[in-house]
Amino acid sequence: MFKKLRNKFLLINAAITLVVVVASFAAIYWATYSNTLMVNKTKLEASEKRIEGLRYPLQDALANERYGLGSSLFPISEFIVGQTSQYITTSEIGAIGAITLSASPSFSLEVDESGDMVSVIGSHFEMTDEEFQGAARLAWRQRKNYSVIRYGQKDWMYAIKPIITMSLMAVYDDDVSHIRSFGEEKLSYQIVFLDVTDTNETLLTLRVTFLIIGAAMVFVIIGISYYFAKRAIAPIETAWRKQEQFIADASHELKTPLTIINSNYNVLKDCPDETIGSQAKWLDRIKVGADRMSMLVSGLLTLAKAGDAEAGVEKEVFCYTQALREAIHPMEALMLEKGIGLTVDAAMVTTESDRELVTQLIGILLDNAVKYTDKGGSIHVSLKKYRHHSALSITNTCAGIPDEELPKLFDRFYKGDPSRKAVSNSYGLGLPIARVIAERLGGKLTAESDGHSNAKFIFLL
């Protein structure tokens, strides 16, 4: 059961952690990708604008320089009709001067309506016409702006823009130009390519890095989750084992008085004609069994009430020393009967706590000391005040307690050594009740022994 619970806890913890890690990596990658895409689009748009800048408006000075002044009719070549202005075609640009492109590695092509290359507008790359044509056809097949194609072992982002050209005829007469006629419009397309190989390789490296880190983190997270799941389940498993042991021990302890009662009842039943006086022996044994069962049930109820976390602690300021002396008085007759010597070294201590619970705890410790002190032995009680706490210690002479048994003294129904088992009216519930009360009061109860001559219980409050 606990193995399944641990595995379930491990699975849930690992799943939540992995979702968080994957979401974080995805967010980082998406932000990087979006930023890179925006930068590439900006560069591509800048290249487009620089290419359009080369298609500058036709000036009269250019016509005069090429054709001379006077009344003559001459072809001005082709005007490009864009969205906002008219520009001269690339065939004229080539004759005018060299092309200057942006710093971004790019090239621009003009293609017809079938996607066949018409001319190279400008390029940073030394490529053949066949290579330019291959890039144009690949982009033309997709025809999706700002998409990326793989060509020539490089990644290219491209943008396609339609352009309209028309032939014009103009007359220059006495420095005055007049457009005489228009020719037919012709539709073509400009494709600008931007080399994005480096940025794509950066994104690929980022993906691979995230994949490697993610795979490594899977094993790390599983290991860490297993460790913490095991630690988280351990107290629950321990409590469950103790609960099972408690039920088994309680059943065993209750079985003895019930057996006594049943056995003696059967004896009485077999002698119906006998008088009560003649059967007093069996009735006394029934009473002993009933008393033992009553004591056990009372101890279990006390243990349950002492461990009730919802029950409050009624704090009040009282004389700790006076409470100690009041708890000692009922025990003096028992000590006298066993010939036990008592010494008390108690400073005057005032504390703020639950007086009833403190008195109950002192009584349990004193009762435990009287029970396990040999005849003619001694008990020493000490109460001291320190800066931040008070310390009550009760030491009694006995056969001693082995070190390995000291932590078990506060387990329910524990009676480890023969001297503890020999005490007929003890069920091993007193010290567990004292420990629960100490924790409820916010204190600490511990046990010490030299292993051969004494046992000492210390209560820090």
| Residue 100 pLDDT > 50 | no
pLDDT in the model for residue 310: 54
pLDDT at residue 249, rounded to an integer? 65
Confidence band of 20 (pLDDT split at 50, 70, 90): confident
Question: Is the predicted pLDDT of residue 76 greater than 50, yes or no?
Answer: no
User: 255: which residues sit within 8 A by CB, 6+ positions away?
Assistant: none
Token pair listed for 72: 């003559």
Question: E strand or H helix at 220, and its extent?
Answer: helix 197-269
Interval 269-290: pLDDT, tens:
777 777 777 777 777 778 777 7
Asked if 377 and 345 touch (Cβ cutoff 8 Å), the reply is no
Inform me whether the pLDDT recorded for 101 exceeds 50. Answer: no
Of 301 and 136, the one with more pLDDT:
136
Residue 134: CB partners within 8 Å, gap ≥ 6? 151, 152
pLDDT value of residue 65: 42
Q: Which CATH code for domain 312-460?
A: 3.30.565.10
Would you state the pLDDT for residue 326? Answer: 87
pLDDT of 458: 92
Lowest mean pLDDT among 4-13, 348-357, 410-419: 410-419
Contact 136, 117 (CB under 8 A): yes
State mean pLDDT over 25-46.
89
406-to-54, 250, 438, 450 alpha-carbon distances in Å: 95, 22, 17, 11
- DSSP letter string over 411-448? STT---SHHHHT-TT--S-HHHHHHHHHHHTT-EEEEE
Instruction: State yes or no: pLDDT of 391 exceeds 70.
Output: yes
pLDDT of residue 157: 92
Tell me how far apart the terminal alpha carbons of the chain are, to the nearest angstrom. 39
Query: How large a percentage of the chain has pLDDT more than 90?
Result: 8
Q: What is the pLDDT of residue 78?
A: 41
Identify the helix (H) or strand (E) that includes residue 33. Answer: helix 2-53
What are the domain boundaries of the chain?
2-38+203-235, 54-195, 312-460
Classify the phi-psi angles of 400: left when phi > 0, otherwise alpha if psi is within -120 to 50, otherwise beta. left
Query: Which one is predicted more confidently, 393 or 90?
Result: 393
Band of residue 158 on the pLDDT scale cut at 50, 70, 90: very high
Tell me the β-bridge partners of 350.
319
Per-chain mean pLDDT for the chain: 76
Q: Mean pLDDT throughout 190-205? A: 90
How much is the average pLDDT of 243-267?
Answer: 73
Residue with the bigger pLDDT between 16 and 9: it is: 16
What pLDDT band is residue 268 in, cutting at 50, 70 and 90? confident
Q: Write phi, then psi, for 110 (nearest 5 degrees).
A: -110, 130
Structure tokens, 411: 């387990």
Distance CA(230)–CA(309), nearest Å, equals 26
Q: How far apart are CA 407 and CA 401, in angstroms?
A: 10
User: Does pTM surpass 0.75?
Assistant: no
The secondary structure of residue 156, as a DSSP letter, is E
Residue 419 pLDDT level (bands cut at 50, 70, 90): low
Residue 3 CA to residue 14 CA, distance in Å, equals 16
Average pLDDT (255-276) is 76
Cα–Cα separations (whole angstroms), residue 110 to 44, 79, 83, 119:
16, 15, 17, 5
